[in-house]
Chains A and B, each alone.
Chain A
Amino acid sequence: MSHDHDGGFAHPAPPKLLITVFIALVLLTILTLAMSSIDLGLMGAFGFWIAMSIASFKAALVLLFFMHMYWDKPFNVLVFLSSSLFVILFIGLTLMDSSHYKNSVDEYPRQPDPPALSP
Chain B
Amino acid sequence: MNLLTPLLAQNNIQDVDGIPTPESSIEHVGSYWFPEQASTFAGDIDFLYMAILWISTLFFVVIIGVMVYFMFKYRRREGVGSEPSSSHNTALEIFWSVIPSIILVWIFYAGAKGFFEMRVPFDDAEEIYVTANQFNWKFVYPDGDVSKELHIVVNRPVKLVMQSDDVLHAMFIPAFRQKNDIVPGRYTYAYMRPTKVGAYRLACAEYCGEGHSRMRTVCVVHKDEADRKNTTQWENEKHPGWVNGERLFQINCSGCHSIDGTVKTGPAINTIWGTDERLSNGSTVKVDENYIRESILEPSKTLVEGYGATGTLSKMPSFQGKLSDAEIGYLIDYIRYLKDPSKFPDRDTLVQPPAADGTGATSTVPADPPADTKPADSQPAENTTDGDPPQDDQASDGSTDPKTDNQDQEN
Contacts and interface: CB of A to CB of B under 8 A. Distances in A.
B186 A108 contact: yes
Contact of B187 (A104, A114, A115, A117): A104
Q: Looking at B186, B188, B189, which has the most chain A CB atoms within 10 Å of its CB?
A: B186
Nearest to B301: A115
B313 A118 contact: no
B185 A115 contact: no
Contact of B311 (A104, A105, A107, A118): A118
A101 interface: yes
B300 A101 contact: no
A117 B312 contact: yes
Contacts of B250: none
A117 B163 contact: no
B313 A114 contact: yes
Contacts of B187: 104, 107-108
Interface string B295-308: 00000100000000
Interface residues of B, number: 11
Classify chain A: how many residues form its interface, as a range: under 10
22 contacts: A101-B186, A104-B186, A104-B187, A104-B188, A104-B189, A105-B185, A105-B186, A107-B186, A107-B187, A108-B163, A108-B185, A108-B186, A108-B187, A114-B300, A114-B313, A115-B300, A115-B313, A117-B311, A117-B312, A117-B313, A118-B310, A118-B311
A96 B156 CA distance: 34
Given A104-B187, A114-B300, A115-B313, 13 more contacts: A104-B186, A104-B188, A105-B185, A105-B186, A107-B186, A108-B163, A108-B185, A108-B186, A115-B300, A117-B311, A117-B312, A117-B313, A118-B310
A97 to B, nearest CB: 13
Interface in B159-185: 163, 185
Contacts of A117: 311-313
Contacts of A115: 300, 313
Interface in A85-119: 101, 104-105, 107-108, 114-115, 117-118
Interface string B251-274: 000000000000000000000000
A118 B185 CA distance: 24
Q: Which 8 A-B pairs have the closest CB atoms?
A: A118-B311, A105-B186, A104-B186, A108-B186, A104-B187, A108-B187, A107-B187, A115-B300
Contacts of B310: 118
A91 to B, nearest CB: 21
Contacts of A101: 186
Contacts of A118: 310-311
A105 B188 CA distance: 9
A111 to B, nearest CB: 8
